[in-house]
Structure formats: C-alpha cells, structure tokens
Amino acid sequence: MQIIERTRVFNGHYKVNQLIVQDGEHQLRREQFAPGKAVAALVFDTARQVYVLTRQFRIGPEAELLEIAAGMIDKDEAPETAVRREIHEELGYKIDKLEEIVCIWPSPGTSSEEITVYYAEVSHRPGAGGGLAEEHENIEMVELSREALVAEPLRDAKTIIAVQWMRLRK
C-alpha cells in the first residue's frame, strides 16, 4: 500500500486528513485523525513515596478519567521539553529524573497520533499544577501509593502501559 494523496478535510482543534491509498490495482479513500505527537509520564514523588496522576474530563469517553500526566508536543519542541512542561503545568513539579518507557501508536487503524511515554521522578513542587487557565484545563491531582495504583481500575491505555511497566521494573 502507498499513500498517493493527502488532503486536510478538517482543521479545527484537531485535524482530519483524507488519504487516497493505492492498494495494487485499487484506490481506497481513508480518513485519518491527525492530532499530532504527544508525551505522557508516570510521575513518582520520591520525597513522599506516592505516584501523582491526573483526573480530568476527556472528550473521547465523555467522562472523567484517571491517567498519567500528558499533553501535546508543540511545533519544533523536543519530547523531553514537552514532558517537563506538561508535568509542571498539570502537577506543579520539576523533574529530577526522566526515563523513556516506550513510544506508542495508541490507535494506528485510524489515527496518526504518537505518544512517547516516560517515567519521571520528582521531589520538588514549585508550581500549583492543575493545568493552564487559558487552556480551560480543570485537572485534579491524585496521589496514590504503589498498592493503591496497582489496585485502581484503569481505562486509559497509556496509563495502563506505564503502570504495567512500573509493576515489572520498580
């Protein structure tokens, strides 16, 4: 298969492309959700020995979800810079140690989104967290012990991946 044409058909908060794909003798039309690249991090406060997650309303499931801190990478921004910015904005922390876990395609059948997932250790919280007012974020910080996090019924894929990594490595 080869993409022979790409047209932006929606250019709002998120983007949607229409692709023409050559498959042998056949040309197929496919829509592609194109939100961009993102970062996410499982944050562990080493001073207090708790994992710090977020709870916020998410458009996809139309519900509040418990998940690791996450956000979009700005144009020409390095993933490491973006994850540091997002952790400070959402949780108020400065990162002491950062380790990449994996880069994933959460829904490759329909979306070009790519998420780099990290593990971050923190110990100093110079900011308030909660997200940016101008982005209308309403983020609740949730602190959990390892035992409580492992017992939590998670539904967000990137969070499940990060917690499974933690269970295997930490």
**CA-to-CA distance for 15 and 19, rounded, in angstroms?**
13
Q: Read off φ and ψ for residue 91, nearest 5 degrees.
A: -120, -15
Q: Is 134 annotated as a binding residue?
A: no
Contact 106, 38 (CB under 8 A): no
Q: Is 90 annotated as a binding residue?
A: yes
Instruction: Please state, as a whole number, how many other Cβ atoms lie within 10 Å of the Cβ of residue 54.
Output: 25
**CA-to-CA distance for 74 and 161, rounded, in angstroms?**
23
Q: Is 135 annotated as a binding residue?
A: no
Q: Is 70 annotated as a binding residue?
A: yes
Strand partners, 99: 119
Residue numbers belonging to the annotated binding site: 70, 86, 90, 137
Residue numbers belonging to the annotated binding site for Mg(2+): 70, 86, 90, 137
